[in-house]
Chain A
Amino acid sequence: MMRAHQMSLRNMMRLHQIMVLTALAALAGCQPDFGQPLSLVTGTRILAVRGQPAEAAPGALVSFDVLAASPDGTIAAPPLSWALCDQPKPLTDNNVVADACLGALPAIGAPAPTTITLVPDDACRLFGPDTPPSTPGQPALRPRDPDATGGYYQPIRATWTGTVAFGLERLRCNLAGASLAIAEEFQMRYTSNQNPQLTPLLAADEGQPVALDALPAGRKITFTVGWTAASPESYPVLDPASQTLVDHREAMRVSWFATSGAFAEERTGRDETDPALTTSDDWTAPANPGPAHLWVVLRDSRGGVDFASYQLTVK
């Protein structure tokens, strides 16, 4: 009887508990120091998985490649084992893929740096809004929920030297839970996501441009990277509460990686209300001169990816 509000208060209390603990974690001395940030590449890693096209319907061909990095620079042709995940995750799992997708899966061809595969025909049933097949005579099953951009995703696994990375290919599925008129309007207005495109990296030392092959040692360098004006696309999303289509614009995020030095932020970006086409991050160059490698990965909020690698020289 009282449980609604009790639960509500419990939620509030739990939320506050999370807030307080988050705060403690943010306060110096209350959180453990885990050492090097992930923006510092100290071993072989996959930094991005890119599907081309960024959004595809079941039955369509998609090619995948990765950005693989090591302390020695970009790995041009990593021998990756590719596999398509064929199990949806439990409804209430926070993770992006089911545990079953971490186990044995049929490989897509031989190990290769890239792969081309068909999006399975049942992808929108397994991972999308199409109602999963149910046993005759049994109640209908619950369609999957979309993410906040209205998207559903087919996971693809890339494995290499013990490193497991999942790319998520956005699926072009039917609009669920909408009237026919809304669905038709959605089909007319919606355009499949395209991968964003990075513009060249710029470096500056106290506002003055510096060349990437002549970065002053120990200085705070401001890197700026941008994207094309067409990259942040607009798209409609069905608001299930109001049953209307609401227009959104893609947020853009940039992840920064380097083999030395230290970034002020590991990721920067622009939210969907910010029309700016660039983002910057401060990087403290290492005190000792020498070569360094830098990677930037651009992601839009619908799963589109672009990336670039740069050779730096610290003098």
Chain B
Amino acid sequence: MRLHHFWVMALALACALPARAEPKLTRLPRLQTFVEATYPPAEQAAGREATVLLAIEIGADGKVTHVSVARSGGADFDAAAVAAAARFVFQPAEVDGVPAPVKITYRYAFVIKHETVKAAPQVNFEGVVLDRFKKTPIAGVAVKVTDLGRKTVTGADGRFAFVDLPIGTHRIELSAPKLITVSTEETLAEGRKRTVRYLVEPKLGGVDEEEVVRAPRIKKESVETTIRTEEARRVPGTEGDTLKVVQNLPGVARAQLGSGQLIVWGAAPADTRVDVDGVEVPALYHVGGLRSTVNGELVRSVELLPGAYGADYGRGLGGLVRVDTRPLPERGVHGYVAADVLDASAMISAAIGKRLRVAVAARYSYLDKLLGGIISPKVNDYFPIPRYDDYQAKATLALRRGEELSALFLASDDHLRRSLPSSDPAEVRADETNGSWYRLMLRYTRLLPDGASVVATPFFGYDTSRQSTRFGGSPTELDLDSWRYGLRASYRRRLARPFTLSVGVDLQGTRTHVARSGSITLPPREGDLYVFGQAPGDDVAADSFSTHIVDAAPFVFGELRLGPVTITPGLRLDAFLIAGDHLSPDASGTPAIGFQRLAWALDPRLTVSWRAHRRLTLTAAVGLFHQAPDPVDLSAVFGNPTLGLERALHLTLGAAVHLTGTLTAEVVGFYTQLDGLVTRSPLPSPELARALTQDGIGRSYGGQLLLRQELWRGLFGWVSYSLSRSERRDHPGLPWRLFDYDQTHVLAVVASYEVRGWTFGARFRLSTGFPRTPVTGSYYDARDDRYQPIFGQQNSIRIPTFYQLDLRIDRRFVWSRVALDLFLDVQNVTYQRNPEEVVYSEDFAQRGYITGLPTLAVLGVRVEW
């Protein structure tokens, strides 16, 4: 037991003042020396408490001249209180600016408080700071409890400790000149000592300023894979491109050569969303998949959420790729220049004063020019090399502590042109595509004193694309221009110790003008029956129309921690306004009739995780997802202006085991159910403006395994394996068929090892081939002198299994503040001739395969400072 005393200075002064005219108290007396009263032993033993109200007379010198009991608390208590108060010393009060005697009342409380008795001050918060990669202790790291202003420094063993920190949540900051500053929050409970282990990263050339341990955020996702940029850059086969690592993560099917598509958990590529700092962008990769559209040096992390993600994101039936840009360096001028056989890129960042940081980056491809000087133009006609460029700018302004405003500009361009000459006018082919997109976003973030946070991101963008394809006398044109705008805003606050709540709104609008002409079957849709190289249908049509789709989606989600169980419920309400200017095809002399309708979608999401053991966490999640129709599909000629929302239900069940501090195994099962899918009308003569219907349903199910070694003593890598099946049924009554992008098995083994400036990497991939529809016969089309295929059961055969080994060697030289990287990325080192597509002889009597590229070596150099 320990005696606690409470004393309160009474506000009411009973002044014994000299008889003077209107004297004025100009300063209150102030207790300078407090003497603790002795708790009467008998009363303490009896467990009695009391309060004694004293009247204390203070002299002009501040000494107590007299103490009396104004209200008794008991004789023993009165005596003890009077004895102690008599020894108080005050700074004297002043009347009219002159020290003067005063009389005050003082309440002395005798309280017995039960608590753990300690013999000495106790450590209630301690830990160790380790190098994240080497797992070695780091000495000299300043560990600061910022809200208390207390600070300590790690010792030679990397350890630190704090004594008697107040109970509650504190903000912790770790900093050292050569380390990335780390901020996090820790909650101290009464009677418990908190022991932590912090993994911090050294700054790379002083460039990185990365917040690795974030303020606790609500973990809404049941399945997510996050890859650090520095690891991603070293994965073989990515040619040093950070974001290309996504293609090797579990749940992602291998994209066909030259496609660059993201096929996640059996979803169509267009159904997976890509977000950069919370703003949706059209594509993660440039056309052809050679490069990502966002400079990897601006990227802090890339997360793949294959399904059942939180309520703050939506509008997609498939997965979500979330790219976070990194904070810019707080000091100095940094940058890099890199070049390889594909392209060249550069970035420079600078801190201007203490508050403003800016960066610009650009990339430009020249593979077409490089090869153009080597190979004949005819080969370039056959083998079109995509041209691409992208550029970015970012500025960050620190407004005040915990408050920041940043602006990010993203731009991406793609160009592709090819002509296949032929002596036959009907076989001349010409293709040209040009696409660009731009995004400008502002991001306001503020961390409030109570730990709450506010993020608001308004954005504006423009997308444009021009596609032209001519197959003989059948031209196809598809031009799109889209203006985009939106706002993502959220507020997060811990309402109670076990419960954190986030609310926000996700607003996005798209105004699109579409001009399309040519064959209705070009470009092909998922589910179309065709064989590679087959001429499109020669029926042609044309349409020109505009649409405006606005989705306002308020969302709310929370995190409730109940011991080892964490429950994360969420709710998202999407209000889609779908409008267009053509409800039916243009009829000569008849004014067009537009349309406008509102479609509501209520998407509940729920994730439950149970930490069954300190190394084992089980997770289950479920969620509904809705997706607005593609504006192109709202054509009254090629599509259907009355299309509504497509819907998906995601279910996942998973377990994660931390085998060691850096080795993790995760296994996840998933099931996705889709309905309202847009499919082609099977009728020879569908109703007017109903070339597309929404009769399709689908399902995907399977499991994935990830065994991941985070960077440890120079080694990192993972083994990912996915087993899945994805099916579609286009119309009621039709049998289920395999999804065009279904891949039963996808295996990726990635490993990288760094030693003495050298990094050696290897990647092995194996994947089942895509399904294809066999051709069982043919007939002769005498008008066109061409054989036409007769198809068997849809998607009942597959392209043979793909497997490939890639290697990478990276050499890093460091001179003071400059580092030089040389790398050689060799793909398909075993010269495996992987089938990429099924082809047939002209009369469809024989079947064969187009094989992929032979061994491909990419040499690159990178200088950073």
- What is A's interface to B at a CB cutoff of 8 Å? 1-27, 29-32, 34-35, 37-38, 45-49, 66, 87-99, 102, 132, 134, 138-149, 153, 158, 163-168, 177-179, 182, 239-241, 243, 251-253, 255, 265-272, 279, 281, 297, 299, 301, 303, 305
Question: Binary interface profile of B, 114-132, with partner A (CB < 8 Å = 1, else 0)?
Answer: 0000000000000000000
- Within B339-384, which residues are at the interface with A (CB < 8 Å)? 379, 382-384
Question: Binary interface profile of B, 376-398, with partner A (CB < 8 Å = 1, else 0)?
Answer: 00010011101000000000000
Give the shortest distance, in Å, between B782 (CB) and chain A (any CB). Answer: 4
Q: Are B849 and A21 within 8 A (Cβ)?
A: no
Instruction: Known A3-B270, A5-B282; judge A92-B630 contact (CB<8 A).
Output: no
Report Cα–Cα, A104/B690, bound state, in Å.
Answer: 30
- Nearest residue (CB) in B for A237 is B540
B478, CB-defined interface residue at 8 Å: yes
User: Residue A49 contacts which of B480, B542, B782 (CB distance < 8 angstroms)?
Assistant: B782
Q: Are B465 and A251 within 8 A (Cβ)?
A: no
Q: Are B785 and A255 within 8 A (Cβ)?
A: yes
User: Residue A267 contacts which of B423, B484, B586 (CB distance < 8 angstroms)?
Assistant: B423
Q: Are A16 and B386 within 8 A (Cβ)?
A: yes
Q: Are B630 and A25 within 8 A (Cβ)?
A: no
Among B192-200, B251-259, B615-623, B710-718, the one that faces the other chain is B251-259
User: Residue A90 contacts which of B418, B467, B683, B841 (CB distance < 8 angstroms)?
Assistant: B683
Instruction: Known A20-B288, A24-B836; judge A8-B781 contact (CB<8 A).
Output: no
Q: Are B686 and A94 within 8 A (Cβ)?
A: no
B498, CB-defined interface residue at 8 Å: no
> Which residues of B sit under 8 angstroms from A267, Cβ to Cβ?
423-424, 426-427, 785
Q: Are A1 and B508 within 8 A (Cβ)?
A: yes
B680, CB-defined interface residue at 8 Å: yes
Range of interface residues on B (Cβ < 8 Å): 35 or more
Give the shortest distance, in Å, between B281 (CB) and chain A (any CB). Answer: 8
Instruction: Known A146-B540, A148-B538; judge A177-B258 contact (CB<8 A).
Output: no
Q: List 14 extra interface pairs beyond A3-B631, A148-B540, CB under 8 A.
A: A4-B480, A4-B482, A12-B465, A22-B382, A31-B850, A35-B846, A91-B685, A93-B529, A145-B520, A147-B540, A153-B783, A240-B517, A299-B785, A303-B783
Report Cα–Cα, A166/B783, bound state, in Å.
Answer: 8
Among B72-80, B105-113, B429-437, B817-825, the one that faces the other chain is B429-437
Give the shortest distance, in Å, between A125 (CB) and chain B (any CB). Answer: 9
Report Cα–Cα, A303/B538, bound state, in Å.
Answer: 13
Report Cα–Cα, A241/B509, bound state, in Å.
Answer: 28
Q: Are A141 and B686 within 8 A (Cβ)?
A: yes
User: Residue A269 contacts which of B426, B508, B523 (CB distance < 8 angstroms)?
Assistant: B426
B800, CB-defined interface residue at 8 Å: no
- Nearest residue (CB) in B for A139 is B687
Q: Are B781 and A166 within 8 A (Cβ)?
A: yes
Give the shortest distance, in Å, between B268 (CB) and chain A (any CB). Answer: 8
Q: Are B474 and A92 within 8 A (Cβ)?
A: no
B70, CB-defined interface residue at 8 Å: no
Instruction: Known A4-B463, A8-B435, A91-B683; judge A177-B480 contact (CB<8 A).
Output: no
> Which residues of A sit under 8 angstroms from B281, Cβ to Cβ?
2
Q: Are B528 and A5 within 8 A (Cβ)?
A: no
User: Residue B836 contacts which of A21, A95, A297 (CB distance < 8 angstroms)?
Assistant: A21
> Which residues of B sit under 8 angstroms from A8, Cβ to Cβ?
282, 435, 463, 465, 467, 478, 480, 632
Q: Are A15 and B523 within 8 A (Cβ)?
A: yes
> Which residues of A sit under 8 angstroms from B828, Cβ to Cβ?
none
> Which residues of A sit under 8 angstroms from B474, Cβ to Cβ?
147-148
Instruction: Known A3-B628, A12-B435; judge A48-B782 contact (CB<8 A).
Output: yes
> Which residues of B sit under 8 angstroms from A141, Cβ to Cβ?
685-688
User: Residue B433 contacts which of A16, A35, A177 (CB distance < 8 angstroms)?
Assistant: A16
Q: Are B782 and A167 within 8 A (Cβ)?
A: yes
Q: List 27 A-B contacts (CB under 8 A).
A: A4-B512, A4-B632, A5-B480, A8-B467, A14-B261, A14-B523, A15-B467, A16-B259, A18-B532, A19-B384, A19-B416, A24-B852, A25-B850, A32-B839, A49-B783, A91-B680, A95-B788, A141-B687, A142-B685, A148-B540, A166-B780, A177-B587, A182-B588, A251-B425, A269-B423, A303-B783, A305-B782
> Which residues of B sit under 8 angstroms from A253, Cβ to Cβ?
424-426, 785
B564, CB-defined interface residue at 8 Å: no
Instruction: Known A16-B416, A141-B686; judge A269-B425 contact (CB<8 A).
Output: yes
> Which residues of B sit under 8 angstroms from A12, Cβ to Cβ?
287, 414, 416, 433, 435, 465, 467
Instruction: Known A12-B287, A94-B536, A163-B780; judge A142-B686 contact (CB<8 A).
Output: yes
> Which residues of A sit under 8 angstroms from B630, Cβ to Cβ?
3-4, 6-7
Question: Binary interface profile of B, 30-62, with partner A (CB < 8 Å = 1, else 0)?
Answer: 000000000000000000000000000000000
Q: Are A24 and B788 within 8 A (Cβ)?
A: no
Question: Binary interface profile of B, 492-519, with partner A (CB < 8 Å = 1, else 0)?
Answer: 0000000000000000111010110100
Report Cα–Cα, A4/B639, bound state, in Å.
Answer: 13
Q: Are A4 and B510 within 8 A (Cβ)?
A: yes
Give the shortest distance, in Å, between A270 (CB) and chain B (any CB). Answer: 7
> Which residues of B sit under 8 angstroms from A297, Cβ to Cβ?
785
> Which residues of A sit under 8 angstroms from B598, Cβ to Cβ?
none
B837, CB-defined interface residue at 8 Å: yes
Q: Are A13 and B475 within 8 A (Cβ)?
A: no
Q: Are B783 and A23 within 8 A (Cβ)?
A: no
- What is B's interface to A at a CB cutoff of 8 Å? 256-261, 269-270, 273, 280-283, 287-289, 315, 379, 382-384, 386, 414, 416, 418, 420, 423-429, 431, 433, 435, 437, 463, 465, 467, 469, 473-475, 478, 480, 482, 484, 508-510, 512, 514-515, 517, 520-521, 523-524, 528-530, 532-542, 544, 547, 549, 551, 585-589, 627-632, 680-691, 779-785, 787-790, 836-837, 839, 841-843, 846, 848-853
User: Residue A166 contacts which of B283, B544, B779, B841 (CB distance < 8 angstroms)?
Assistant: B779
Which of A14, A147, A153, A164 has the most B CB atoms < 10 Å from its CB? A14
> Which residues of A sit under 8 angstroms from B437, Cβ to Cβ?
5
User: Residue B588 contacts which of A93, A143, A179 (CB distance < 8 angstroms)?
Assistant: A179
- Nearest residue (CB) in A for B285 is A13
> Which residues of A sit under 8 angstroms from B853, Cβ to Cβ?
24
Q: Are A31 and B848 within 8 A (Cβ)?
A: yes
Report Cα–Cα, A26/B421, bound state, in Å.
Answer: 12
User: Residue B533 contacts which of A22, A139, A255, A279 (CB distance < 8 angstroms)?
Assistant: A22
- Nearest residue (CB) in A for B779 is A164
Report Cα–Cα, A94/B269, bound state, in Å.
Answer: 23
User: Residue A177 contacts which of B520, B588, B836, B842 (CB distance < 8 angstroms)?
Assistant: B588
Q: Are B260 and A13 within 8 A (Cβ)?
A: yes
- Nearest residue (CB) in A for B463 is A5
Instruction: Known A49-B782, A91-B681, A166-B780; judge A11-B467 contact (CB<8 A).
Output: yes
> Which residues of A sit under 8 angstroms from B846, Cβ to Cβ?
32, 34-35
Instruction: Known A16-B288, A93-B537, A138-B687; judge A299-B588 contact (CB<8 A).
Output: no
Instruction: Known A24-B851, A299-B785; judge A2-B280 contact (CB<8 A).
Output: yes
User: Residue B841 contacts which of A13, A34, A252 (CB distance < 8 angstroms)?
Assistant: A34
Q: Are A269 and B782 within 8 A (Cβ)?
A: no
Give the shortest distance, in Å, between A47 (CB) and chain B (any CB). Answer: 8
Q: Are B534 and A1 within 8 A (Cβ)?
A: no
User: Residue B258 contacts which of A5, A20, A47, A145 (CB distance < 8 angstroms)?
Assistant: A20
Report Cα–Cα, A37/B846, bound state, in Å.
Answer: 12
User: Residue B259 contacts which of A14, A31, A149, A243 (CB distance < 8 angstroms)?
Assistant: A14
> Which residues of B sit under 8 angstroms from A99, Cβ to Cβ?
790
Which of A48, A91, A271, A297 has the most B CB atoms < 10 Å from its CB? A91
Q: Are B588 and A178 within 8 A (Cβ)?
A: yes
- Nearest residue (CB) in A for B636 is A142
> Which A-B residue pairs are the 9 nearest by beta carbons?
A32-B848, A20-B258, A23-B383, A34-B841, A145-B539, A267-B424, A5-B463, A49-B782, A3-B630
> Which residues of A sit under 8 angstroms from B850, Cβ to Cβ?
21, 24-25, 30-32
Which of A37, A87, A142, A281 has the most B CB atoms < 10 Å from its CB? A142
> Which residues of A sit under 8 angstroms from B787, Cβ to Cβ?
38
> Which residues of B sit under 8 angstroms from A143, Cβ to Cβ?
685
Give the shortest distance, in Å, between A189 (CB) and chain B (any CB). Answer: 17
